[in-house]
Amino acid sequence: MTEVLQTTDYSIFKRLEGNRSVDEKRVQKIMNSIKEIGWAKQPILVNENMEVIDGQGRLEALRRMDMPVEYIVQEGGKIRHSQVMNESYTGWGSVDFVKSYAENGNKSYKRLQQMMDMYGVDVRTVLRLMNISTNSAYLHMLKTGEIVVDNQAFGKGLKRLPIYSAYIKCMKRFSGHSNIKKKVIFFLIEHGGYPHQQFIDALTKCNPDEVNCGSDERLIMSIEDVYNKFKREDKKIYLLTDYRRK
């Protein structure tokens, strides 16, 4: 039978390297539950080094309320155990997995986190801009630490992300669904070697009413129009033709 231990010495517990940070909302929810209906005495799980595998939120709530902590020692518990257990309860997101593997020294995940932090974009966008597949298997690979960001992919991401970010920023001026805007931005970046800065300048300076984000093709046509507005015929770019060929 598993032995359940108890203590009020909160200092014996340690953070497991790579574990996600404590969610303040979850701590408050646990504290409110204890105040309303009492504590159900659900033990936290630690390894032989007293690193918390499961129950960071419960531990913090009990510490703040000056209540005893029940815990179980599971020898050999590692970060993967924490990931799997916590995902089944409160759901580790993509960001949690990236931060966890990065903190444990995975170079590819350090690169992912660097680019996510620099430009405030989600992991799937970062991967796509690096030409790393985001098909149905990608999430499993992300969770199990199998994503590889080599030098070529990293360089491509560092080059493309500022362009993507600039497009996103200038298109905030226009009403329309964000998914349509992102679809068009990916097309512009992934195809053709277009003059991105000139497109961005034209979109930044134009009247918002000139840009229609009602569909991907309408947005493509709007970018054509604002860019070509004062261009000679031989300098004009016809994006819609390229888009329909892609």
Three-state secondary-structure class, residue 72: strand
Cβ(112)–Cβ(98) below 8 Å: yes
* Position with higher pLDDT, 184 vs 3: 184
Task: Determine the distance from the C-alpha atom of residue 180 to the mean position of all C-alpha atoms in its chain, rounded to a whole number.
Answer: 20
Selection from 31-45, 69-83, 134-148, 166-180 with the highest mean pLDDT: 166-180
Q: Would you state the pLDDT for residue 76?
A: 79
Three-state secondary-structure class, residue 130: coil
How far is Cα 121 from Cα 136, in angstroms, rounded to an integer?
Answer: 20
- The pLDDT of 138-164, averaged and rounded, is 91
Q: Note if the pTM is more than 0.85.
A: no
Q: Which two tokens stand for residue 239?
A: 């994006």
* pLDDT tier, 171 (very low <50, low <70, confident <90, very high otherwise): very high
Burial category of 141 from C-beta neighbours within 10 Å (exposed 0-12, middle 13-18, buried 19 and up): middle
- The pLDDT of 173-199, averaged and rounded, is 92
Q: Could you tell me the sign of the dihedral formed by the alpha carbons of 139, 143, 146, 149, in that order? A: positive
C-alpha count within 13 angstroms, C-beta hemisphere, residue 206 = 25
How far is Cα 65 from Cα 224, in angstroms, rounded to an integer?
Answer: 61
* pLDDT tier, 179 (very low <50, low <70, confident <90, very high otherwise): very high
Q: Any long-range contacts for 126-132 (C-beta under 8 Å, 24+ apart)?
A: 126/157, 126/161, 128/186, 129/156, 129/157, 129/160, 129/161, 129/164, 129/189, 130/154, 130/156, 130/157, 130/160, 131/156
Of 6-10, 72-76, 236-240, where does mean pLDDT reach its minimum?
Answer: 72-76
Q: What percent of the chain has pLDDT over 90?
A: 52
Dump pLDDT digits (tens) for 85-120.
565 545 667 888 898 889 888 999 999 999 999 989
Find, among 11, 6, 5, 4, the residue nearest to 63 by Cα.
Answer: 11
Dump pLDDT digits (tens) for 43-87.
888 888 899 888 888 899 999 999 999 998 888 777 666 666 565
* Position with higher pLDDT, 19 vs 51: 51
Find, among 93, 137, 135, 130, the residue nearest to 111 by Cα.
Answer: 130
Q: Using DSSP bridges, classify how beta strands 44-46 and 69-73 pair: parallel, antiparallel or unpaired.
A: parallel
Q: Would you state the pLDDT for residue 97?
A: 86
